[in-house]
Structure 1
Amino acid sequence: MLAYERYLALYASFAGEAGAGHPVEVSLEQLAGALFCSSRNVKLVLRKLIDDGFIEWHAGRGRGNRSQITFLFDKAAKLLEIAKELARKGEYKRAFELIEHFGAGTEARERFVAWLNGHFGYRRLQTNDAEASDILCLPVYKPILTLDPKELYYSFSAHMVKQLFDTLVEYDRETGKLVPSLAHAWTHDENGMEWTFHLRKGIRFHHGREMSAADVVYTLDRLRGSRASEWFVRSVVGAEAVGQRTVRITLAKPNWLFPRFLGSPALSIVPHDLAERDERFWSHPVGTGPFRFEAWTEDRFMMRANAEYFKGRAHLDGIVIVIMPGGTIAYSKSWEQLLMKEEPGEMQPKDDWEQKEFICNGCAMLTWNMRKDGPQRSAAFRKAVDLLVDRGRMVEELGEDRIYAASGFHPEERLDRLPDRSDHELAASLLLASGYDGSEIAIGTYGLHEMDARWLQRTLADYGVAVAVRLESFESIREPGVLEEVDCLLYCVVFDEDDVSLIELYEQTGNFLREHMDESLLAWTSEQVEAALGCKRAEDRSRYLSAIENRLRDETHVLFLLHKKQNTFYNPNIKGVGLNSLGWIDFKDIWLGEDEPLAGNAG
């Protein structure tokens, strides 16, 4: 225990109403009990606190004369000072733990977060040389679970992977076309079963070695055995380096979407020499991307600009991602600099700030577990629940980032088809027909989806459907047994690239939707996917993929609930602010003009 912790512990135990600056009578035995140490050790602690200027101590002389301790600093003020110092060192988690432990009855937490808000944003830091460093410091309220491209399940981890790595090609959502990236050109045979990619010259990994065809072959091979990403290479029967900068890939069956597979973050190209021999590679990854890895702790993640990036150096010099405790978002209301509003919650930007609103390419939905016995196995029961959920009322009552009802995966579908209105009378008859006996169903969820789950719990209870909410974390939701034990799962899907991301829902082992499908539906879905991949024309592929979505909706295997929006509020002096398909700021393009200083920068 450090000196300031001992001070706060003793203050909490003995200062009482007297507070700082007033002597309090106490015995060595009492102090030792409060610090869980011996009387001998407590004398050493007292000496340290005196030397550091925390307390004054007057030892009692003679029998019956008690000692006196005077606390020289108010607890809340000292706690706030210590928390700020820890935050400046990047020890954010420790700062919040300290406030949580010692801040009861004070406004320390609210005051600390108010100060911390000014600590975030775009900062221009003067270094030893003449050149200043432009740093973007952003808070997030979820952890980075992995930086290994082949293990991606969540959009935030995928976004961070895209900062460090590149893929052979990229999908341009605005034009609907593939564009070159690490590969400058590619060809295919007439059947869509052999694909050849030609790599750019001179692209170097962050450790200095030039990327080669061997790295591409290794990247494809290492996906074998991955739960999250093996489906991408399931039909690959051969990948070979044809010289230093050409790769030929042979498939077992036609796949006209295969180049778009190669634009997925899961297919980010990794250096074979480092990944093969270094077991710690994924805790300090090396790619070709716009930013280089610098540090990763439970508090923060740091990157520096890749000065040799082949698409042009980032304007920023560095990025600091601060992993905030989940309970702090409610206090984050007054941001003084650029902030990505990644999670819902009230926000009050300055009047002259600009806002970018982004409708997430995806939806909030509920999947029924068809591999478990229970009421959900009945189509009548599932349809009844669907009819009981008034999505419009859900949006109105919960508000925040919820924007309108969903009838399918993609937001644009609302223009073609509105969700059915809730029908309580029909729902009641379907519940009766299903034989539902009032037994409890368990909704599993995690993170901020809890609000939606609790709303469903209250709403369905009004109609006799008993619901228990099983709240998990991002990590625990995937632990063995959790998906199998819940009757349904409430979560959001976010699509980076429409067709490929949609197929991923159906084909990725461990994906929530796939894990809840029964065997017959899985087999049929796989047939539809294979037929879609064999179609050269996009409209023909769409017919097969739409059939899957329609069946999921019509048979209520999925309850499409809501579409959501995200906002970025930012200082108008900051340029290049844009949101990518994952709903995150594109870090590479942000900049601040030389003649446009930021007012009120916090250290």
Structure 2
Amino acid sequence: MNALAEKYLMLLNKIGNNAVTHAEIEVTTEELANALYCSTRNAKMVVRKLVDEGLISWVAGRGRGNVSRLVFLAEKEPLLMEWAQDMSRKGDYKQAFELLKTYHSQSALIDRFVQWLNGHFGYAADLAGNSQAIDTLRFPVYRPIVTMDPADVYCAFDAHMVRQVFDQLLQYDYASRRVTPGVAHAWEMNADATEWTFHLRKGIRFHHGRELTADDVKFTLERIRGDQPVGWMTKDVILVECHDGRTLRIKLSRPNRIFHRYLSSAAMSIVPRDLVMKDESLFRERPVGSGPFRVVEWCNDRFEMVANPDYHQGRAHLDRIVIALMPEEAESMSLGAHWKQLLYDNTLHLKHPDPELMATYELSNGCMLMSWNLRKNGPQQSFAFRHAIDLLLNRKRFIRDLGGNRVYPAQGFRPTEQTPYLDEEHDEEEGIRLLRESGYDGTPITLSIFGSHETDAHWIERRFAEFGVSVVVRNDSKYKIGDLETMESADCILYEVVIASDDVCEIENYVQSGNFLKECLQDDMRLWAEGKVESALVCERSEDRTAILKEIEDRLREECHVLFILHKKLSTYVHPTVKGVQLNYLGWMDFKDIWLESRAMNSVE
């Protein structure tokens, strides 16, 4: 919306008091200036411009103190809708919602705008200047992309987006639980897994045109060492050697038989040495990788990518992806929108979805949990108190009351085949006894939430109030994840983890700097868990490694360091003509594989 349009709306709201269009209003120049927050001279200039645009008519009063006559010529609702649509076409989605919220209090207009977005979002073939169709996918998200720098990745959504833009040395197939080639087409390790050698493909190019070499991989590994969030992945690296540009040898200080899995994570995505060295801040604002899509725009309202035509694993079917970064409050305004049915959305629960759309459901490989901050004084220092809270929670009632995608009580990080049939340990009588035993005196518990867990947190607040436990919910989503000062001031943190089927995802909970779970553990428990992780990394058999990691999970649950709360289901709604949609382990679809089947082909008998 241009500045002149905003001035018109300001006058309409303040001077016109939502007046009927074409009704004459008496007004002084001073009143105009007050409404526009400017001088009388500037107010007169604005009036002249509004007259020239045909938005108002104006008859100036003669003589000092005489009133003038103002007529609003443009109807408010059509004008707001037109401007909101224009903003959306330009990608200014947040501004469009802000416009409607600021200048129109009625929800009916916002509903009509959302219905208009039904035709804007989704899969469409846009026409380029040469009349060639550009397959474009537009969709909204209600969370910010915090970072696209692999070295800073904490969140699952950020990790997913990083994978669309960057390549990794290797890839991990979560279905077969096998490591597969990536930038490296072959690799080997020595007998005790302390030396790894990787052989890189020829001809892989970064989006700015330079060929990816072993030196870029070396730079990537060395860049994330130290205090970086993902520095734990390279803390055992003592030497990285490059040979002939396409061979890389990595030496470790101790055995790690799943080091190649580390190299397949989003955090280990390969960055171009030249661009990062030249201007790291610019690289973070406009990331450059060698993945299936390259970033062309990233601003407050949208994130836009186009296909990398030279991608070494085959060009994406999609030509362009536009992600609308919507304000959080817009999610509640758009519950019936068809474009929300096209894509996975963790909060989408449609009672009557479009009959043409096909729905698929699966359990998320993770859980919602609550970590007690045992590095802070408070009632949570008492095991009896933590155990009482665990017994009083009533996970099944939690799921029944809030519904939606909350489906099963959790007893650990991952759901198993037995999860639908397991019963939770819920015992109010024993919980009340333990609460008395703990000596709890009514001290409020600060429950910090990161992300969209406000509904869950307030349910927990109400539930424990029934037993005299005071919970104060604090939404810390505006702070950067990993902010230790913010975390340390909370008594407990409510959040979700995505574990998938990979041991690396589980290990990072115990060793990653800034991780909610690790940072809340007491020193003795933290050191014990890190020792167990070291033992697991030496195991040749995956079964032995899994058993060791389960020891950590069991102790976390039995000593109530964390409360495993529930598992959720993932939902995907797609039109039959949209193909290749499959949720990955992060709960999102890999954009590279999506394609649109022609409706004309569907009509052929």
Give the TM-score of the pair, scaled to structure 2: 0.96
The verdict on how the C-alpha distance between 1:489 and 1:193 changes in structure 2, with shifts beyond 3 A counting, is same
What secondary structure is seen at the aligned counterpart in 2 of 1:276? Answer: helix
The percent identity for this pair of structures is 47
Which one-letter code corresponds to 1:464 in the other structure?
G
Contact map agreement 1:367 1:516 (CA 8 A) in 2: yes
How far does residue 67 in structure 1 lie from its aligned partner after superposition?
A: 1.3
Q: Distance in 1 between matches of 2:19 and 2:511?
A: 65
1:555 to 555, 559, 575: 559
Q: Distance in 2 between matches of 1:136 and 1:212?
A: 32
What secondary structure is seen at the aligned counterpart in 2 of 1:30? Answer: helix
Q: Distance in 2 between matches of 1:536 and 1:306?
A: 39
How far does residue 38 in structure 1 lie from its aligned partner after superposition?
A: 1.3
Q: Distance in 2 between matches of 1:596 and 1:494?
A: 40
Q: Deviations over 1:141-165 (max 9, x none)?
A: 0000001101110001100100011
Q: Distance in 1 between matches of 2:209 and 2:233?
A: 29
Q: Larger deviation: 468-477 or 49-58?
A: 468-477
What secondary structure is seen at the aligned counterpart in 2 of 1:448? Answer: coil
Q: Distance in 2 between matches of 1:564 and 1:243?
A: 48
| Residue number in structure 1 paired with 2:287 | 285
Which one-letter code corresponds to 2:514 in the other structure?
G
Aligned length: 599
How far does residue 340 in structure 1 lie from its aligned partner after superposition?
A: 1.7
Q: Distance in 1 between matches of 2:236 and 2:541?
A: 20
Confirm whether residue 366 of structure 1 aligns to residue 370 of structure 2. Answer: yes
Q: Distance in 1 between matches of 2:559 and 2:98?
A: 47
Q: Distance in 1 between matches of 2:213 and 2:63?
A: 82
Q: Distance in 2 between matches of 1:407 and 1:497?
A: 16
How far does residue 411 in structure 1 lie from its aligned partner after superposition?
A: 1.2
Contact map agreement 1:150 1:226 (CA 8 A) in 2: no
| Residue number in structure 1 paired with 2:343 | 340
Which one-letter code corresponds to 1:315 in the other structure?
H
Q: Distance in 2 between matches of 1:344 and 1:476?
A: 23
Which one-letter code corresponds to 2:171 in the other structure?
E
The verdict on how the C-alpha distance between 1:597 and 1:130 changes in structure 2, with shifts beyond 3 A counting, is farther
Q: Distance in 2 between matches of 1:451 and 1:121?
A: 28
Q: Deviations over 1:193-236 (max 9, x none)?
A: 11101111111111111111111111111011243110000111
| Residue number in structure 1 paired with 2:413 | 409
Q: Deviations over 1:125-148 (max 9, x none)?
A: 111224210000010000000011
Q: Distance in 1 between matches of 2:457 and 2:417?
A: 24
Q: Distance in 1 between matches of 2:66 and 2:439?
A: 78
Aligned CA-pair RMSD:
1.8
How far does residue 398 in structure 1 lie from its aligned partner after superposition?
A: 0.4
How far does residue 497 in structure 1 lie from its aligned partner after superposition?
A: 4.9
Q: How does 1:22-421 map to 2 (within 5 A)?
A: 22-62=23-63, 65-105=66-106, 107-279=108-280, 280-337=282-339, 339-347=342-350, 348-412=352-416, 414-415=418-419, 418-421=422-425
Give the TM-score of the pair, scaled to structure 1: 0.96
The verdict on how the C-alpha distance between 1:406 and 1:67 changes in structure 2, with shifts beyond 3 A counting, is same
Q: Distance in 1 between matches of 2:552 and 2:484?
A: 28
How far does residue 75 in structure 1 lie from its aligned partner after superposition?
A: 1.9
Contact map agreement 2:23 2:71 (CA 8 A) in 1: yes
How far does residue 64 in structure 1 lie from its aligned partner after superposition?
A: 6.8
What secondary structure is seen at the aligned counterpart in 1 of 2:343? Answer: strand
The verdict on how the C-alpha distance between 1:413 and 1:373 changes in structure 2, with shifts beyond 3 A counting, is farther
How far does residue 76 in structure 1 lie from its aligned partner after superposition?
A: 2.4
| Residue number in structure 2 paired with 1:465 | 469
How far does residue 21 in structure 1 lie from its aligned partner after superposition?
A: 1.6
What secondary structure is seen at the aligned counterpart in 2 of 1:412? Answer: coil
Which one-letter code corresponds to 1:548 in the other structure?
I
Contact map agreement 2:51 2:57 (CA 8 A) in 1: yes
Which one-letter code corresponds to 1:397 in the other structure?
D
Contact map agreement 1:135 1:318 (CA 8 A) in 2: yes
Contact map agreement 1:505 1:511 (CA 8 A) in 2: yes
Which one-letter code corresponds to 1:449 in the other structure?
H
The verdict on how the C-alpha distance between 1:431 and 1:596 changes in structure 2, with shifts beyond 3 A counting, is farther
| Residue number in structure 2 paired with 1:587 | 591
How far does residue 257 in structure 1 lie from its aligned partner after superposition?
A: 0.7
The verdict on how the C-alpha distance between 1:227 and 1:474 changes in structure 2, with shifts beyond 3 A counting, is farther
How far does residue 422 in structure 1 lie from its aligned partner after superposition?
A: 1.2
| Residue number in structure 2 paired with 1:438 | 442
Q: Distance in 2 between matches of 1:420 and 1:572?
A: 39
Q: Distance in 2 between matches of 1:382 and 1:113?
A: 45
The verdict on how the C-alpha distance between 1:432 and 1:595 changes in structure 2, with shifts beyond 3 A counting, is closer
Q: Deviations over 1:403-423 (max 9, x none)?
A: 111110001164498253311
Contact map agreement 1:213 1:244 (CA 8 A) in 2: yes
What secondary structure is seen at the aligned counterpart in 1 of 2:453? Answer: helix
How far does residue 480 in structure 1 lie from its aligned partner after superposition?
A: 4.7
How far does residue 14 in structure 1 lie from its aligned partner after superposition?
A: 2.2
Which one-letter code corresponds to 2:396 in the other structure?
G
Q: Distance in 2 between matches of 1:4 and 1:213?
A: 54
Contact map agreement 2:153 2:229 (CA 8 A) in 1: yes
How far does residue 510 in structure 1 lie from its aligned partner after superposition?
A: 0.2
Q: Larger deviation: 356-365 or 503-512?
A: 356-365
Q: Distance in 2 between matches of 1:414 and 1:272?
A: 47
Q: Distance in 2 between matches of 1:475 and 1:119?
A: 32
Q: Distance in 1 between matches of 2:133 and 2:529?
A: 55
Q: Distance in 2 between matches of 1:329 and 1:92?
A: 13
How far does residue 471 in structure 1 lie from its aligned partner after superposition?
A: 1.1
Contact map agreement 1:227 1:508 (CA 8 A) in 2: no
Contact map agreement 2:28 2:66 (CA 8 A) in 1: no
How far does residue 111 in structure 1 lie from its aligned partner after superposition?
A: 2.3
Q: Larger deviation: 251-260 or 586-595?
A: 586-595
Q: Distance in 2 between matches of 1:211 and 1:476?
A: 32
Confirm whether residue 425 of structure 1 aligns to residue 425 of structure 2. Answer: no
Q: Distance in 1 between matches of 2:356 and 2:337?
A: 13
Q: Deviations over 1:380-404 (max 9, x none)?
A: 0000000001111111110111111
| Residue number in structure 2 paired with 1:514 | 518
Which one-letter code corresponds to 2:181 in the other structure?
P
